[in-house]
Amino acid sequence: MAKFEPSEAVLSGETADVYFAHTVDILGKEKLNPVATMQVFSSRAGILCGIEEVKALLARVLPEDNREVWALGEGEAIDRKEVVLRITAPYQSYGLYETAICGILAHCSGWATAARECVDGAAGIPVISFGARHVHPSVAGVMDYSAIIGGCQGCSSIAGARLAGVEPSGTMPHALIIVIGDTVKATLAFDKYMPTGVPRISLVDTFKDEAEESLLVAQALGDRLNSVRLDTPAERGQVTVDLVKEVRARLDLAGFQKVKIFVSGGVDIERIKQFIAEKAPVDGFGIGSYITSAKPIDFTADLHEIEGKPIAKRGRIPGITLNPRLKRIM
């Protein structure tokens, strides 16, 4: 499981909304530091993710002798408006971190929820997160971690794999093939230098027809070839159900029944469902922007008690909201 460490930028309040800095400042000057209960709830249903990183932050900032924290667990399914976190502690100890707490949960839960959709749609066929290239590198790791919490078997970024405690998944990029200038040669070079544990997955759409290149690399590597990856670009109609069936059939005809087929390139939940419904012989899906373009699941934090007395802003109900699924974590 991931080991999260709050960054200096978060701890210093640098990433916070400035009005929380003002608030802590004003309350300090007013010498107001009541024990306050804050509850955090989600704007829609999904998969909760980021709570581990939030816990790491709270463990650093809440006073050990005056805190009580209840939460749901990483990866749990949550309902719309469900309270997922409740903090009771002196307000000044955590007021500055409302922005970070909500932001971590929002972004991570959004990614995990989209990943879960894909995994559910894929009906048992492994799904790998391939979207690091679509997000800012500062969150590439947590994005991939969230996808794995959502059910993905692996991810392409080194940072994400480290957080999730898995090996990063990779095939080969078009760049390797273009620099070497030939798919078969590139695959042979990959095979020559990569450690034994790295599966040999050849990308077969760079220079020739996918079916043709599949047979060429299969003939070149023989039993060492683990998979071919089809990543046909939109300019060529993307990977279709029929293309997968045809490559499978041509590989089988040539005796390469053991070579798997891995599909990527603009795969989303609709296309996953189509591949499954039409029984395309896919052995793995690589998902990019469907996960990375998922909307964050916005979370809202509200104070519900001050020094044990129920209070709330208009639109919220004063006092603690019961949620029997919450577990005390601190």
Q: Footprint of a second copy on residues 269-328 (CB under 8 A)?
A: 288-289, 292-293, 295-296, 298-299, 302-303, 306, 310-319
Q: Name which position in 42, 156, 227, 264 contacts a second copy (CB under 8 A).
A: 156
Pairing relation of β-strands 77-78 and 46-47? antiparallel
Rg, C-alpha atoms of the chain:
24
**Both tokens assigned to 184:** 């078969």
**Nearer to a second copy by C-beta: 124 or 195?**
195
Q: Name which position in 42, 88, 93, 157 contacts a second copy (CB under 8 A).
A: 157
**Nearer to a second copy by C-beta: 68 or 246?**
246
Site for a second copy in 114-153 (CB under 8 A): 130, 132-142
Is 146 in contact with 44 (CB distance < 8 Å)? Answer: no
Q: Which SS3 state, helix, strand or coil, does residue 295 take? A: coil
Site for a second copy in 159-188 (CB under 8 A): 159, 161-162, 168-181
Q: Which SS3 state, helix, strand or coil, does residue 250 take? A: helix
**Both tokens assigned to 260:** 């798997």
Site for a second copy in 1-30 (CB under 8 A): 7, 9-10, 13-23, 25-27, 29-30
Q: Taking the complex as a whole, how short is the minimal distance between the CB of residue 188 and a second copy, in angstroms?
A: 10
Q: At residue 202, what is the residue type?
A: S
Q: Taking the complex as a whole, how short is the minimal distance between the CB of residue 71 and a second copy, in angstroms?
A: 18
Q: Taking the complex as a whole, how short is the minimal distance between the CB of residue 122 and a second copy, in angstroms?
A: 21
> How many angstroms separate the CA atoms of 215 and 211, rounded?
6
> x/- string (CB under 8 A) for a second copy, residues 209-248?
x-xx-------------------xxxxxxx-x-xx-xx--
Question: Among residues 296, 215, 229, 297, which one has the least CA distance to residue 267?
Answer: 229
Count of residues near a second copy by CB under 8 A: 115
Q: Angle at Cα 202 formed by Cα 230 and Cα 129, nearest 5°?
A: 60
Q: Name which position in 253, 270, 277, 327 contacts a second copy (CB under 8 A).
A: 253
Q: Which SS3 state, helix, strand or coil, does residue 161 take? A: helix
Site for a second copy in 67-96 (CB under 8 A): 91, 95
> How many angstroms separate the CA atoms of 132 and 86, rounded?
32
**Both tokens assigned to 38:** 């804050």
> How many angstroms separate the CA atoms of 192 and 91, rounded?
59
Q: Taking the complex as a whole, how short is the minimal distance between the CB of residue 13 and a second copy, in angstroms?
A: 7
**Nearer to a second copy by C-beta: 32 or 77?**
32
Q: Taking the complex as a whole, how short is the minimal distance between the CB of residue 49 and a second copy, in angstroms?
A: 11
**Nearer to a second copy by C-beta: 69 or 142?**
142
Is 280 in contact with 244 (CB distance < 8 Å)? Answer: yes
